[in-house]
Amino acid sequence: MTRALIIFVASGACTGFAPFAPGTAGSLLGVLLAWATLSWAAVHWLPALASFAAAFVGGCWIAQRAQAIFGEPDSPHIVVDEVMGMIATMFFNPLDALHLWLGFVLFRLFDIVKLPPAGAIDRNLRGGLGVMLDDLAAAVYANIALRVLAHLIV
């Protein structure tokens, strides 16, 4: 894979180069991708889960390569973790505007707060897996919180 393609994917189609809050910009791309790709997941959950797992593994590889290119661990330009985190947040959740917005807010909140084990993963696990895994933990929390909120407000 070429250097330019690694940077493009790792930076979430260059959203990671946003001058302010690149992780939030990457998460917004994740909202769009979740909306565009997850509508079939409820019916075809096994292929959807397998596709997500393959993309997650690919994201780990991309993040690892991008760290070397950017010369810093978990560079703010690497937002493939936020993109995948938003997709995981919305997995098996309704994809209407309200749920997408709430999922976005919840994911950003859990990604910033880093409840256990996300904080420990962020501090202790290096490489592409570390970049990706703390956001997956935040996404699991956000997914569960979104489900609870959905039952309370809808």
Report the distance separating Cα 90 and Cα 129, nearest Å.
Answer: 21
Per-domain residue ranges for the chain? 30-153
Helix (H) or strand (E) holding 132: helix 127-153
Report the distance separating Cα 128 and Cα 131, nearest Å.
Answer: 5
pTM of the predicted structure, to 2 decimals: 0.94
Q: Residue 22 has what pLDDT?
A: 97
Q: Return the structure tokens found at 71.
A: 């010369």
Q: Residue 151 has what pLDDT?
A: 87
Q: Return the structure tokens found at 26.
A: 């990457």
Report the distance separating Cα 87 and Cα 91, nearest Å.
Answer: 6
pLDDT in tens, the chain (154 residues): 799 999 999 999 999 999 999 999 999 999 999 999 888 777 788 898 999 999 999 999 999 999 999 999 889 999 999 999 999 999 999 999 999 999 999 999 999 999 999 888 888 989 999 999 999 999 999 999 999 998 887 6
- CB atoms under 10 Å from CB of 40, counted, come to 11
Q: Residue 90 has what pLDDT?
A: 97
Q: Residue 1 has what pLDDT?
A: 78
Closest by CA position to 11, among listed 75, 88, 85: 75
CA distances in angstroms from 103 to 19, 35, 70, 108, 112, listed in the order given = 23, 11, 30, 8, 14
Q: Residue 31 has what pLDDT?
A: 97
Q: Return the structure tokens found at 48.
A: 């959807």
Q: Residue 154 has what pLDDT?
A: 62
